[in-house]
Amino acid sequence: MTAALVVDGLRVRYGAVDAVRGLSLEVGRGEIVGLIGPNGAGKSSTLHAIMGAAPVVGGDVRLDGVSLLGRRSEDVARRGVALVPEGRRIFGELSVEENLRLGLAARRSRRNGNGLERAYALFPVLREYRSRQAAALSGGQQQQLAIGRALVAQPEVLLLDEPSLGLAPKMVDLVFETLVRIRAEGLAVLLVEQRAQRTVALADRSYVLANGELRLVLGPQDADDTERLVAAYLA
């Protein structure tokens, strides 16, 4: 399995604070990789660093062997890395369809006709509400919109920053099921989550981050081993 995304000894520093200290991980095509850990562990910083939106002071980030460092965010997006940001960051005043169209900016080819179809196929509710203002959607629907928006660009790598935050259980199920479908289509998925247990159960492997450092790598078989999880968080 070729690793699509490689993070190699990444160091991120905000002013005097080291947010990420030498993190290394890999995400292959057709894999879901989890990145879990307590608040402030550096998970979001890692995603932002990959997208070129955080101050990287060391290490490397590579997509199919090519370094992403030093590139502007829009260039990283155009190379095939899509981010579903924390808090969704949808454009409330624009319509659902316009939000999706924004995602098309990162599209690398126009081969597959109407890119929005992919989002509508995955999330039928978006088709139904396509002309509505995005702010009128519920939290769960907005999350679907955020993911759909990331997918219309047909990325190779999908980064998600706490997609289950603030969602009702049914919605969380939907999101996780969608990730399984996306994985089946061959994308490399890096999932940052607070819900450790579900993530560990779902992902092919999960990296536990605490205080900017990698503590542990867990597999799905460890999902029920709460002691191990807690120990990893508190170490």
Partner 1 sequence: MTVVGFLNLTWPTFANGLALGGVYALMAVGIGLVFGVLRLVNFAYGQLIMAGGFALAYGAQWGLPNWVSILFCFGVVLALSALLDQLVFRPLRTHSPAVMLVATFAVAFLLQNVALLAFGPLGKSAGSLALLNQPWDIGGVFVKKIAVISVATAAGCLALLQLLLTRTPVGLHMRAAAMDFQTARLLGMRANRVIGGAVLVSGVFAAVAAVMLSVQEITVTWTFGLQDTIYVLAGVVLGGLNRPVPATLGGFAIGFASGILGGALPSSQSQYLPSFLFAAVIVVLLVRPNGLFTRGGGAVERV
Binding mask 26-65 for partner 1 (x = CB under 8 A): -------------------------x-x------------
Closest to partner 1 by CB, 122 vs 217, is 122
Which listed residue (13, 62, 71, 101) binds partner 1 by CB under 8 A? 101
Which listed residue (38, 58, 91, 205) binds partner 1 by CB under 8 A? 91
**Interface with partner 1 includes 72 (CB under 8 A)?**
yes
Angle between helices 139-151 and 96-103 (to 10 degrees): 30
| CA atoms of 108 and 194, how far apart (whole Å) | 32
Q: What's the full length of the chain, in residues? A: 235
Closest to partner 1 by CB, 93 vs 117, is 93
| CA atoms of 36 and 105, how far apart (whole Å) | 30
Residue 10 bridge partners (DSSP):
23
Dihedral Cα 212, 215, 217, 222, nearest 10 deg: -120
Binding mask 147-186 for partner 1 (x = CB under 8 A): --xx--x---------------------------------
Q: Name the token pair of 15.
A: 């002013």
SS3 218: strand
Which listed residue (73, 114, 138, 226) binds partner 1 by CB under 8 A? 73
